Structure formats: C-alpha cells, structure tokens
Amino acid sequence: MAIQKFLSGNEAIAEAVKLAKPAVIAVYPITPQTTVVEKLADFVANGELKTEFINVESEHSALSALMGASAMGVRTFTATSSQGLLYMSECLHYAAGGRFPIVMMNANRAVALPWNIFGDQRDSLSQLESGWIQLYAENAQEAFDLTLSSFAIAENHAVALPVMLNVDGFALTHTYEPLNIISQEDADKILPPFKPFFEMNLEKPLSLGFSAGPRDNTAFKQHQINGMKAAAKLINEKFGDLVDAYKLENAKYAIITLGSISGLVRDVIDELQSDGVKVGLLRLRSLRPFPEEELRSALANFKTVGVLEKNLSVGAENAVAKEIKSALYGLENAPQVLAFSGGLGGRDISANEIKDIISKIIGGEK
C-alpha cells in the first residue's frame, strides 16, 4: 500500500532512508543537500527513525565514519553535494576499493570557482573514476524509488560497492511533487535486513583496508570490475534498466541526457514528433556501470546523437559525450556524436534551447 504525499526531492529521499532503516547515518551540511539531513534529524528527534545519527566535522569524516561502521557490518547512509563531494574524494576511492556498501545521496551542484550553489553535474561527473556506482534521478519519485534500490544494489553480495545517488540541486532537491510513498512492509520486501558480505566481528577477526603491492593490486581491481558488472545485471533485471528510452522507435536522431532536464526534453520531443521530426530521448539512469551495450543496441541505426550534460570538460570534449562516443566506436555506420554543455551554475535550459540543440543534431553540426 502506498500513500500519497506532497514532498520535495530531498524530503522524498529522507522518507526512503527512513524506510531503509540504516543503523548509522553520518551528516555534514551543505546546500542544497541540507534538507535531507535536517529531515532525517527530525525523524530521529521524534522517534520515527532509530539510528546512530552522527554530526561529523567534515564530509571526509562522514565517509570515514561510515566506512568504519560498514566494516562492522551495518547499513549506512550519508548525503553531500559539490565541494563536500570533492572534499570526500579520497574517501570515495577508499570506500569503493574497500567494498563498503555505503549509500550516499549527492545533490548535484556547481563547483567553485566561481562560487555557485546552484545545480549542475560537474561535481559527480568529476568523480566518475572513484569506483562508485553512479545513478541519476529524473524526478522526486524516481529519487525516492532509487534510494531504496541503491541500498539493495550496494548490499548485493556480488556487487558490494558504494552507491552515489545523484539528484539535481534545487531542480529536484527543492521542488515539490505529489509522490507515492510505499509502506514499510513493501519497503522491507524491496530491501530486506542487511546481511553483510564481510564484517569485523569478535569470533572471526578481520584485517581490512590493507595494502596490496604490485603483484596483487590488479587482482583487487579486477574484483571491483566484477562487482560493477554484477551491478549492471542487477539494475537491468530488477531496478529499471541503466537507460530509459523515450520515443526512440521511429527516430533517426536522439538527444542523450541525464537528470531532471529529461522531463523538459520529453515535452519538446512530444511536440517535435507530432510535427514529424524523428527525434527521441535516451536518458542515462546510470553512468557507473556505464550502459555501453545498451547504447550500442539502442543507437545502432541512428544518424546523429547529441549529448546534453550539465558539465564542462575544459580543454577536452565533455566527459559524458566522450564516453558515449567511445561506447559507439566500431559500430557499422556509428552515429555522429555531438557534445552540448548546458545548465552550468544553475543556468536555465529553455524548451527553445533544447529545440535549438535538436536542430543542430539534425543538421549534424556543432
């Protein structure tokens, strides 16, 4: 049984975390993540959520604390954004290499300099190589659903990797939608109690976080690759696919994007398709694991695709566009891939601008 609630994206995530019942939550505030951790603090203060709620002194400490807790075999959650995510960078690699199934919400936000608190995706995209699973929500309902899914994915024994759930700052974190909030009973079916893959305990002591020299180091990275492959399989089978195709069936051109802008792109595509324009949308729900096979099969016969990301690679093609190009490389008649940056520092992307991008895609020029 689900009940309807009118919630912001951040509140939706907090509701889902409450249903997931992590044993340890570490929090450090940063705009626009704050209302997630404030809501969780309210739940704890009012007895609605029983957890070890730690106010840590930095984002680096938030993940360090959760790695310690995760090593003890309990479910863990934190949330961050932008500068906080970058401050965690060392711990991101550490948590993935240590195979700690931590779930973290990241409110996508621009990174300084210049200072800017508004939404874009430069923070998480700069951390693609940290080894975390990276999921991107389109709306608050998906953010709610993916929060529960993230725990189930991270904690799967074949996966055993941390998950970063990315939600566009302000566009999703602070806007309100009517949402279906499932019952605790249904949540427990999606997410059974945590059974750790490994844990430090008194009966069988473990040494964790160890060094591995040149002989063994690569083997551990291969383990991580295997975990990521298992995540791809699991997401495709149980959690709604790595990609979300919209009106691609009869299209020759596609716009590829991620996050909240997809909603507006859908509207534009509806309008253009009714005028006979053969353009569709492919939304990336996951960047790690990267949906290479899905892209190759979905876009095999396309003429041109354009990648719109709230990101900018200075001195190179944008990160997501580059990866799409790489995924399509070697296909017979591989589509041309055009790169578009938009929404930097929260700058609005209008329907007309999306139309402009689509006309450039159809025109096959940058």
- Spatial contact of 58 and 85, defined as CB atoms under 8 Å apart: no
Of residues 91 through 120, those in contact with other proteins by CB under 8 A are 91, 94, 99
Q: How far is the CB of 95 from other proteins (least distance, A)?
A: 10
Does residue 32 have a cis bond before it (omega within 30 degrees)? yes
Q: Please identify, among the stretches 143-151, 193-201, 233-241, 250-258, the one whose residues bind other proteins according to the rule CB under 8 A.
A: 193-201
**Dihedral over Cα of 203, 208, 211, 214: its sign:** positive
Q: Cβ neighbours of residue 330 under 8 Å, at least 6 residues apart?
A: none
50 vs 348 by CB, closer to other proteins: 50
**What count of Cα atoms within 13 Å lies in the side-chain half-sphere of residue 365?**
2
Residue 170: both structure tokens together:
């302000």
Q: Cβ neighbours of residue 275 under 8 Å, at least 6 residues apart?
A: none
Q: Please identify, among the stretches 109-117, 148-156, 201-209, 240-248, the one whose residues bind other proteins according to the rule CB under 8 A.
A: 201-209
Q: Please identify, among the stretches 7-15, 200-208, 246-254, 304-312, the one whose residues bind other proteins according to the rule CB under 8 A.
A: 200-208
Which phi and psi (to 5°) does residue 29 adopt?
Answer: -80, 145
195 vs 204 by CB, closer to other proteins: 204
Residue 300: both structure tokens together:
């095999």
Of residues 38 through 77, those in contact with other proteins by CB under 8 A are 51-52, 54-58, 60-62, 64-74, 76
218 vs 301 by CB, closer to other proteins: 218
Residue 131: both structure tokens together:
């080894």
- Spatial contact of 166 and 128, defined as CB atoms under 8 Å apart: no
Q: Please identify, among the stretches 164-172, 207-215, 229-237, 325-333, the one whose residues bind other proteins according to the rule CB under 8 A.
A: 207-215
Q: How far is the CB of 215 from other proteins (least distance, A)?
A: 8
57 vs 271 by CB, closer to other proteins: 57
Buried b or exposed e, range 325-336, using 16+ CB within 10 angstroms: bebbeeeeebbb
Determine if 210 is a binding residue for other proteins (CB under 8 A): yes
| C-alpha to C-alpha distance for 268 and 361, rounded to whole angstroms | 14
| 116 three-state secondary structure | coil
Strands 253-257 and 52-55: unpaired
Determine if 23 is a binding residue for other proteins (CB under 8 A): yes
| Cβ atoms within 10 Å, residue 109 | 31
Of residues 147 through 186, those in contact with other proteins by CB under 8 A are 160
114 vs 205 by CB, closer to other proteins: 205
Site size for other proteins (CB under 8 A): 52
Q: Please identify, among the stretches 18-26, 103-111, 294-302, 333-341, the one whose residues bind other proteins according to the rule CB under 8 A.
A: 18-26
Determine if 89 is a binding residue for other proteins (CB under 8 A): no
**Of 44, 177, 198, 317, the one binding other proteins by CB under 8 A:** 198
Determine if 364 is a binding residue for other proteins (CB under 8 A): no
| C-alpha to C-alpha distance for 346 and 356, rounded to whole angstroms | 19
195 vs 366 by CB, closer to other proteins: 195
**Of 44, 200, 245, 334, the one binding other proteins by CB under 8 A:** 200
Q: How far is the CB of 340 from other proteins (least distance, A)?
A: 35
CA of 247: how far to CAs of 67, 145, 177, 254, in Å? 42, 23, 24, 9
Q: Cβ neighbours of residue 347 under 8 Å, at least 6 residues apart?
A: none
| List of residues contacting other proteins (CB under 8 A) | 23-24, 26, 51-52, 54-58, 60-62, 64-74, 76, 90-91, 94, 99, 160, 197-198, 200-202, 204-213, 216, 218-220, 222-223, 225
